[in-house]
């Protein structure tokens, strides 16, 4: 699958959406706050105007009909409303209890629909064809008795602040949108720049170049970069170690094969020089034995390299190690573990592994061998301790390498087979010298080997 470098744009898009949504909600909050503040100020102003009207007019005005339209009294109160309009730019309508127009500065005004009073609101602000409109109404009382209603309406330039707020809202939204895009792009660029650099270095490393990632920060991603550097270094060391092991295996195998081949070559030369010699039959038998020896070497090598599948079965610890201890007369010691603990292993392979270890100890001159089995919270530890001559420091790291041996006889494959079997059981084996004794420790995770049941 061909990957595309689109994470920067995915991150850019995500951050942009989050910032825009956040800023838009904040913008609406601020817009609503100032709008409510301005609306409250207008309500206070209209209340003061209505208070002034209430003190300047009498309740008789709420009895006017169209018949009184040309009377001097009607003209008096209309002048009061007109002066209020000139002073405050507010149209006023005086309504009787039946919501009929008694006197008004709005010529076309005939009837008022008090719908917004039904939800206990005495004012309303809205836009009509893009023009802000403010309506306000309050009852006219005389001796705490409602005689009628004072309705006021503001429209147009007097509310230009509302228009300004609405226009500014669009401008602010545009600024927010551009600002969010810039912030998102800068952040995504700075963040993904390190990712791009890391990918570039890793691509060079995968091509075999000796590169490391430069860590420039101290966040989680920097920690990841540092761990990648450590992983690459460990892999490099492991590769070098494997290369050395392969070289030793090749040298050991070549050494094992070289001896029988040299013997076969020498015997054939003798036979060619002395074709009638009576010892040629014996020499041919020797050639046959050397060929069989070569076959044995190649069979052992193939067997070692072959990937055998584990055939696990359940067995008690004491049953498994009792058979081994009786065969080789060794001591088995249990610490912090029940001897009847059930384990699941390939008994044939695991038996071969321990026999190889024990045989190796005896061949090295051991007189006493102990196996100590101990359990901690996460691991099962099996230590084989012998009193043979300590393995020198310069070769102790090579003893598990196939075909490495310091003995006059043997191929040096026993400990390598043991290591292979232990690793197949998800464990590991290590050699240490402690208190002038050799110590081979096998460690296997408990969850990989323990079975929580009993065998009857």
pLDDT in tens, 180-230: 778 777 777 777 777 778 888 887 877 777 778 787 777 777 778 788 888
Residue with tokens 């051991």: 366
Higher pLDDT, 311 or 3: 311
Higher pLDDT, 1 or 363: 363
- Kindly list the structural domains of the chain, giving each domain's residue range(s) and its CATH number in brackets, ordered by start: 7-169 (3.30.450.20), 220-305 (1.10.287), 313-451 (3.30.565.10)
Please give the pLDDT value at position 7: 56
Please give the pLDDT value at position 456: 40
Higher pLDDT, 314 or 175: 314
Tell me how far apart the alpha carbons of residues 390 and 438 are, in angstroms, rounded to a whole number. Answer: 6
Please give the pLDDT value at position 116: 52
Please give the pLDDT value at position 384: 93
Q: Examine the pLDDT at 11 and tell me if it is beyond 70.
A: no
Share of the chain above pLDDT 70, in %: 77
Higher pLDDT, 427 or 405: 427
C-alpha closest to that of 252 among 395, 392, 413: 413
Q: What is the dihedral of CA 57, 59, 60, 64, to 10 degrees?
A: 90
Distances (CA, A) of 220 to 11, 331, 415: 17, 51, 42
- Would you place residue 119 in the very low, low, confident or very high pLDDT band (cuts 50, 70, 90)? very low
Average pLDDT over residues 296-307: 62
C-alpha closest to that of 88 among 127, 134, 55, 125: 134
Average pLDDT over residues 365-394: 89
C-alpha closest to that of 311 among 155, 443, 421: 421
Average pLDDT over residues 288-301: 72
CB-count exposure of residue 50 (10 Å: 0-12, 13-18, 19+)? buried
Average pLDDT over residues 4-25: 66
**Residue 317 phi/psi, 5° resolution?**
-55, -50
Cβ-count burial 167-188 (b if 16+ within 10 Å, e if not): eebeebbeebeeebeeebbeeb
CB-count exposure of residue 190 (10 Å: 0-12, 13-18, 19+)? exposed
Residues written for the chain: 456
- 3-class DSSP assignment, residue 436: coil
- Would you place residue 438 in the very low, low, confident or very high pLDDT band (cuts 50, 70, 90)? very high
pLDDT in tens, 130-178: 677 888 888 998 888 988 999 988 876 656 665 566 666 667 777 777 8
**Residue 174 phi/psi, 5° resolution?**
-65, -45
C-alpha closest to that of 414 among 440, 385, 390, 383: 440
Which residues touch 333 (CB under 8 Å, ≥6 apart)?
A: 370, 371, 372, 373
**Residue 213 phi/psi, 5° resolution?**
-85, 130
Q: What is the mean pLDDT of the chain?
A: 78
Q: How many CA within 13 A on the CB side of residue 232?
A: 20
Number of other residues whose CB lies within 10 A of the CB of residue 456:
3
Residue with tokens 């075909």: 403
Please give the pLDDT value at position 383: 93
Helix (H) or strand (E) holding 195: helix 160-206
């Amino acid at each position: 699958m061909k990957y595309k470098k689109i994470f920067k744009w995915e991150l850019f898009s995500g951050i942009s959406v989050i910032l825009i949504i956040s800023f838009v909600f904040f913008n609406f909050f601020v817009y609503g706050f100032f709008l409510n503040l301005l609306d409250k100020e207008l309500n206070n102003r209209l209340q003061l105007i209505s208070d002034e009207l209430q003190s300047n007019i009498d309740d008789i005005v709420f009895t006017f009909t169209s018949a009184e339209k040309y009377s001097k009294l009607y003209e008096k109160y209309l002048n009061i409303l007109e002066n209020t309009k000139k002073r405050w730019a507010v149209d006023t309508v005086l309504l009787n209890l039946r919501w009929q127009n008694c006197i008004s500065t709005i010529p076309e005004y005939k009837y008022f629909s008090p719908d917004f009073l039904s939800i206990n609101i005495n004012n309303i602000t809205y836009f009509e064809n893009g023009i802000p409109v403010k309506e306000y109404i309050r009852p006219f009382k005389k001796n705490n008795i409602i005689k009628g209603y004072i309705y006021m309406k503001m429209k147009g330039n007097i509310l230009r602040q509302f228009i300004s707020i609405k226009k500014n809202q669009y401008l602010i939204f545009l600024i927010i949108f551009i600002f969010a895009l810039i912030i998102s792009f800068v952040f995504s660029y700075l963040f993904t720049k390190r990712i791009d650099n890391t990918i570039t270095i890793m691509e060079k490393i995968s091509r075999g170049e000796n590169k490391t990632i430069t860590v420039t920060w101290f966040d989680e991603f920097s920690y990841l970069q540092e761990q990648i550097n450590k992983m690459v270094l460990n892999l490099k060391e492991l590769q070098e170690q494997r290369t050395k092991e392969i070289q030793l295996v090749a040298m050991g195998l070549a050494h094992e094969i070289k001896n029988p081949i040299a013997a076969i070559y020498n015997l054939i030369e003798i036979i060619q020089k002395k074709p009638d010699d009576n010892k040629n039959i014996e020499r041919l038998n020797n050639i046959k034995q050397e060929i069989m020896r070569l076959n044995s070497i190649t069979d052992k090598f193939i067997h070692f390299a072959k990937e055998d599948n584990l055939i696990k079965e359940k067995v008690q610890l004491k049953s498994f190690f009792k058979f081994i201890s009786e065969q080789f007369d060794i001591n088995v010691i249990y610490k912090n573990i029940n001897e009847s603990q059930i384990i699941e292993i390939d008994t044939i392979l695991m038996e071969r592994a321990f026999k190889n270890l024990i045989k190796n100890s005896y061949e090295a001159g051991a007189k006493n061998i102990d196996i100590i089995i101990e359990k901690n919270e996460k691991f099962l530890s099996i230590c084989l301790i012998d009193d043979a001559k300590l393995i020198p420091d310069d070769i102790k790291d090579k003893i598990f390498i196939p075909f490495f041996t310091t003995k006059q006889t043997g191929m040096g494959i026993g400990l390598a087979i043991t290591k292979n079997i232990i690793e197949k059981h998800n464990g590991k084996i290590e050699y240490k010298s402690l208190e002038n004794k050799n110590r081979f420790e096998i460690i296997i995770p408990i969850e990989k080997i323990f079975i929580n049941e009993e065998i009857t």
